[in-house]
Structure 1
Amino acid sequence: MALASSSRTYGSLRAAGKWRAYVTGLLLALAWLGCAPARAAPDGVIRLVALGDSLTAGYNLPQAAAFPAVLEAALKARGHKVEIANAGVSGDTATGGLERLDWSVPDGTDGVILELGANDMLRGIDPAVTRRALDAIIARLKERKIPVLLAGMLAARNLGPDYARRFDAIYPELAKTHGLVLYPFFLDGVAGEARLQLPDGMHPSAEGVKVIVERILPTVESFLARIGERG
């Protein structure tokens, strides 16, 4: 995940990013318009939103091979009634996610898997800025009584030890502060594994997504249990 590659892979024009974010939010709102929260629904379906960047969106992959779809299928195979909306926008930063939060996470959402920050790191954004944006996202969701599973990220070591220390601390510290379910490193098992990545050496391939889902699955099941306890 080299910083020099960020403009080619994670980066996007700001205007294009905002347009994709608007379309994503509009589609989510139309799809779920009028839906009651899942724990009150007679079908008992838990409705999640995966809010993230290209790692969530499924960069250069069919939608069926993107993280939210593969995770949903895995959970259903284990007997969970769940729907996961893909609110990933390639190139998005934590601040970008905050800007589109209200329309990316519609009413009726029972939980959010929050995966943002990789682009902040790749662009060398001050970790304090990333922390503030993620904290604001979490706080706003808590105000709406929507639980959050926080998916962490680690800094590339070529950014230096001080940057890595400050960036890596964001996720466990926010999880502790807000009492969140934490998955420490979203790319665990995939980062540095060429056979599980696209040719850009940064984004997971379809096989890489399967590894991510396999590893995060127990944490997501714990998250679903926490949501169930609230019902």
Structure 2
Amino acid sequence: MILKRNFFIILLAFVFSFAACSEADRSTAITEERETDTVAEAEAKNEKSERTRNILFFGNSLTAGYGLEPDQAFPALIQHKIDSLYLPYKVVNAGVSGETSAGGKSRINWLLKQPIDVFVLELGANDGLRGIDPSETYKNLQTIIQKVREKNPEAQIILAGMQIPPSMGQKYTNEFRNVFINLAEEENVALIPFLLEGVAGMPKLNQADGIHPTVEGQKILAENVWAVMEDMLKVPAVQ
């Protein structure tokens, strides 16, 4: 009788011991799983924080640096400034000489295959020089902005304002200037009031055609852009 009781006690002890070990193993597995998830989340955040971000300059000959070397155009000068500050951004120059807002609208889809963190839209000048209806320019630029947002909802967008000489008539000149002011407000994007501020109409800062900036003129364009862009390039801290 005593032998049976002792055996029963030993059996119970074994069962409880096994259950305790199983619970401990289960607890350890859960803890390890949580730790793995935490590490994975931290790595994902670090990767997002540390990855190189893309700045796309989408424009015409002003962006392309017509008549100059590629590294003398203002997008390249922005890249130099970024590099000097050790910021994780790569500039992509998508400027095409002669581009209109309609041409840009047709071309933007191909460029949206890559992720965009900052988008600088510099189009419209050729529309003005050709006397295109400002309402058409407005619609084309608006479509480009909306397409960028559809693919890159978190992208920062900068619109480069443009003005034209009064040779087209004061009414047209005013309507054209207001395209950029009104569009920036409606689409809630940052505005460079006038990309060519300090350069337009200055012979020593423009090439022989009187339209395209010289090397020194491009430096001023870069400063005009940087004044608006600088605060956008702060990399958010990992939470």
Q: What range is the shorter-chain TM-score in?
A: 0.7 to 0.9
Say which of 174, 180, 196 aligns to 2:183.
174
Summarize deviations over 1:66-109 as a string: whole Å, max 9, x none: 12111111222234221110100000001100100011233222
Consecutive unaligned residues of structure 1, counting only runs of 5 or more, are: 1-38
User: Which residue is equivalent to 2:13?
Assistant: none
Query: Matched residues in 2 for 1:40 and 1:63: separation?
Result: 31
Partner Cα distance (1:228, 1:121) in 2 = 39
Deviation at 1:60, TM superposition (A): 1.1
User: Equivalent residue for 1:200?
Assistant: 209
Aligned partners of 1:110 and 1:40: how far apart in 2? 15
Q: Distance in 2 between matches of 1:102 and 1:228?
A: 28
- Cα pair 2:195 2:224 within 8 Å, conserved: no
- Counterpart of 1:214 in structure 2 is 223
Note the alpha carbon deviations across 1:120-150, whole angstroms, 9 max, x for none: 0001111011001001001111112133111
Question: Equivalents in 1 of 2:112, 2:79: separation in Å?
Answer: 17
Q: Percent identity?
A: 37
Aligned to 1:54: 61
1:1-231 equivalent positions in 2, closer than 5 A: 41=48, 43-144=50-151, 145=153, 146-225=155-234, 228=236
TM-score where L is the length of structure 1: 0.77
1:20-43 CA-partner distances (Å, limit 9, x unpaired): xxxxxxxxxxxxxxxxxxx95463
Q: Select the structure that is richer in helix.
A: 2
Q: Which of structure 1's runs of 4+ aligned residues deviate more than 3 A?
A: 39-44
Shift of 1:44: 3.5
Q: CA RMSD in A?
A: 1.9
* Superposed displacement of residue 216, structure 1: 2.3
Query: What are the superposed Cα offsets for residues 5-25 of structure 1, whole Å, 9 maximum, x if unpaired?
Result: xxxxxxxxxxxxxxxxxxxxx
| Structure 2 unpaired stretches of 5+ | 1-45
- Deviation track 1:183-220 (CA, whole Å, cap 9, x = no partner) reads 11111111011111111110011111011112321211
One-letter amino acid of the counterpart of residue 203, structure 2: A
Matched positions, count: 191
Pick which of 102-111 and 144-153 moved more: 102-111
Greater relative contact order (Cα < 8 A, sep 6+): 1
